[in-house]
């Protein structure tokens, strides 16, 4: 089957998460991605445990399928020559070095654009290429200084990071959007361009309503645990055996909730008459709802409330979440085989579904330098 991005050549000079996530997304839809690694490899190759059945770190595996790996020591003439040859053949180049590193090796946008004007060149940084050029771009650091930790956690806890490197993931998605947008512009103008994304700007954009309220009021939002600043009840509530997520967004849903909890009088109580009233009296409302919810389990309430159109669900582990997606027919897990029986890899499926040119899973995450010497004109 022909992929949507078949024929697109991507030179991937990135490492860790944001860049590799972006290039994997492109590779899933047919792009030929050559991952250019230093001799010691992408940092995440050594971020173990855990490892899979073949000894490959699961962090690395999560964002590097469908790629080829070559190793180049840019500090040597031969290594730099090989990396430059790959870059000169590529339609898209993506890198996440600190500003100035690629210039040192003649692999920067200005140098390559002068030689091949149609090239799309994507740079990913932590804090941009101006005042924050020398700041280290680690997800935890960006979550801290970018405000996300300030609104994550309970009111009486310390600020908390999100359980995954979410800023890296969002930045990787922004890189994909930028690259595809630049490719569309290339179709129209014949000219390539530079795409720049950074972790801090991606996070600030991703703060959406929290950032918008700050701009409108001048007040910084506070940590509210699992509660929502503008909707109630929209949080986790305690049942007989654990928390239940309840996401009531309309008065109709609230009426159904009170009815199923056998407290329909709360649906007409002036304190809870509409969403703004419920937000103003959220603590009292939470207490009254939990009195009823403690009569049964989270799983039972999730089933009963969902059947009545009330958005609710138990707090699942990741194992349970994958199982749920499977029961819903979402096919969340794919297995990729190396083809020669040497190794296989279980992967979370690409979340984008295309009816005509779907994602394909052709290559297991590569061993370090497995394809050294390869070029885009060679076997894919």
Q: What is the pLDDT of residue 341?
A: 79
Please report whether residue 227 resides in a domain.
Answer: no
- CA 206-212-215 angle, 5° bins: 125
Q: What are phi and psi of 239, to 5 degrees?
A: -110, -165
Q: Average the pLDDT over 134-145 and give the result.
A: 94
Residue 137: closest CA among 149, 148, 147, 125: 125
Query: Does residue 380 register a pLDDT over 70?
Result: no
Q: What is the CATH number of the domain that holds 141?
A: 3.40.50.10540
Q: What are phi and psi of 258, to 5 degrees?
A: -65, -35
Q: What is the CATH number of the domain that holds 282?
A: 3.30.1540.10
Same domain as 247, residue 123: no
- In terms of Cβ atoms closer than 10 Å to its own Cβ (0-12, 13-18, 19+), residue 379 is exposed
Same domain as 22, residue 90: yes
Please report whether residue 291 resides in a domain.
Answer: yes
Query: Count of domains in the chain?
Result: 2
Tell me if the bond preceding 310 is cis, omega within 30° of 0.
Answer: no
Please report whether residue 263 resides in a domain.
Answer: yes
Residue 169: closest CA among 225, 122, 124: 124
Catalytic residues: 168
pLDDT band for 53, please (50, 70, 90 cuts). confident
Spatial distance between the Cα atoms of 277 and 281, rounded to a whole number of angstroms: 6
Same domain as 240, residue 150: no
Same domain as 172, residue 282: no
Strands (E), 126-279: 194-198, 234-238, 243-247
pLDDT band for 374, please (50, 70, 90 cuts). confident
Q: What is the pLDDT of residue 378?
A: 67
Give the strand pairing for 92-95 and 9-13: parallel
Query: Does residue 375 register a pLDDT over 90?
Result: no
Same domain as 82, residue 164: yes
Please report whether residue 224 resides in a domain.
Answer: no
pLDDT band for 56, please (50, 70, 90 cuts). confident
Same domain as 304, residue 334: no
Same domain as 165, residue 242: no
Please report whether residue 357 resides in a domain.
Answer: no
Spatial distance between the Cα atoms of 179 and 185, rounded to a whole number of angstroms: 10
Kindly report, residue by residue over 77-132, the tens digit of the pLDDT: 999 999 999 999 999 999 999 889 999 999 999 999 999 999 999 999 999 999 99
Q: What is the pLDDT of residue 235?
A: 97
Summary mean pLDDT of the chain: 95
Same domain as 56, residue 173: yes
Q: Average the pLDDT over 45-53 and give the result.
A: 92
Q: What are phi and psi of 334, to 5 degrees?
A: -120, 155
Same domain as 239, residue 121: no
Spatial distance between the Cα atoms of 218 and 374, rounded to a whole number of angstroms: 55
Residue 49: closest CA among 38, 57, 41: 57
At a CB cut-off of 8 Å and minimum separation 6, what does 113 contact?
119, 121, 192, 194
Same domain as 75, residue 189: yes
What tokens appear for 353 in the block? 């579904």
pLDDT band for 54, please (50, 70, 90 cuts). confident
Residue 220: closest CA among 148, 269, 326: 148
What tokens appear for 136 in the block? 């280290």
CB 210 within 8 A of CB 151: yes
Kindly report, residue by residue over 307-352, the tens digit of the pLDDT: 999 999 999 999 999 999 999 999 999 999 988 878 999 999 999 9
Kindly report, residue by residue over 280-311, the tens digit of the pLDDT: 999 999 999 999 999 999 999 999 999 999 99
Same domain as 269, residue 180: no
Kindly report, residue by residue over 14-35, the tens digit of the pLDDT: 999 999 999 999 999 999 999 9
One DSSP character per residue, 258-284 reads HHHTT-GGGGT-GGGSSHHHHHHTHHH
Spatial distance between the Cα atoms of 237 and 291, rounded to a whole number of angstroms: 10
Please report whether residue 143 resides in a domain.
Answer: yes
From the CB of residue 309, how many other CB atoms can be counted at a distance below 10 Å? 13
**Most distant CA atoms of the chain, gap in Å:** 79
Kindly report, residue by residue over 57-76, the tens digit of the pLDDT: 999 999 999 999 999 999 99
Same domain as 202, residue 61: yes
Spatial distance between the Cα atoms of 47 and 43, rounded to a whole number of angstroms: 7
Kindly report, residue by residue over 191-244, the tens digit of the pLDDT: 999 999 999 999 999 999 999 999 999 999 999 999 999 999 999 999 999 999
Query: Does residue 379 register a pLDDT over 70?
Result: no
Q: What is the pLDDT of residue 340?
A: 83
Please report whether residue 168 resides in a domain.
Answer: yes
**Domain that includes residue 309, residue range:** 234-314
Please report whether residue 189 resides in a domain.
Answer: yes
């Amino acid at each position: 089957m022909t992929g949507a991005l078949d024929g697109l050549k991507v030179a991937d000079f990135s490492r860790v998460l944001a860049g590799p996530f972006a290039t994997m997304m492109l590779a899933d839809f047919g792009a030929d991605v050559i991952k250019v690694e230093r001799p010691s490899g992408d940092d995440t190759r050594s971020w173990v445990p855990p490892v899979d059945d073949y000894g490959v770190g699961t962090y690395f595996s999560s964002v590097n399928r469908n790629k080829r790996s070559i190793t180049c020591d840019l500090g040597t003439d031969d290594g730099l020559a090989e990396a430059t040859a790959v870059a000169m053949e590529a339609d898209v180049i993506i890198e996440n070095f600190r500003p100035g590193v690629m210039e040192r090796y003649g692999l920067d946008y200005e140098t390559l654009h002068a030689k091949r004007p149609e090239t799309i060149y994507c740079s990913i940084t932590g804090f941009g290429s101006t005042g924050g050029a020398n700041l280290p771009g680690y997800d935890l650091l960006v979550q801290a200084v970018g405000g996300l930790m300030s609104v994550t956690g309970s009111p009486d806890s310390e600020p908390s990071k999100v359980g995954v490197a979410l800023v890296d993931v969002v930045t990787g998605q922004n890189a994909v959007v930028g690259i595809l947008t630049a490719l569309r512009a290339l179709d129209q103008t014949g000219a390539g361009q530079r795409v720049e994304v950074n972790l801090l700007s991606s996070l600030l954009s991703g703060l959406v309503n929290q950032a918008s309220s700050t701009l409108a009021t001048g007040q910084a939002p506070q940590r509210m645990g699992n509660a929502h600043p503008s909707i109630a009840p929209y949080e986790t509530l305690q049942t007989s055996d654990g928390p239940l997520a309840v996401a009531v967004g309309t008065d109709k849903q609230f009426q159904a909730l009170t009815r199923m909890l056998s407290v329909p009088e709360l649906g007409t109580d002036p304190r809870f008459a509409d969403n703004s009233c419920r937000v103003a009296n959220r603590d009292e409302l939470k207490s009254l709802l939990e009195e009823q919810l403690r009569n049964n389990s989270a799983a039972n309430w999730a089933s009963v409330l969902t059947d009545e159109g009330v958005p609710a669900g138990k707090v699942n582990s990741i194992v349970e979440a994958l199982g749920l997606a499977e029961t819903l027919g979402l096919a969340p897990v794919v297995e990729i085989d190396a083809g020669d029986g040497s190794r296989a890899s279980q992967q979370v499926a690409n979340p984008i579904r295309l009816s005509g040119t779907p994602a394909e899973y052709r290559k297991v995450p590569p061993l370090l330098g497995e394809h050294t010497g390869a070029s885009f004109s060679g076997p894919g």
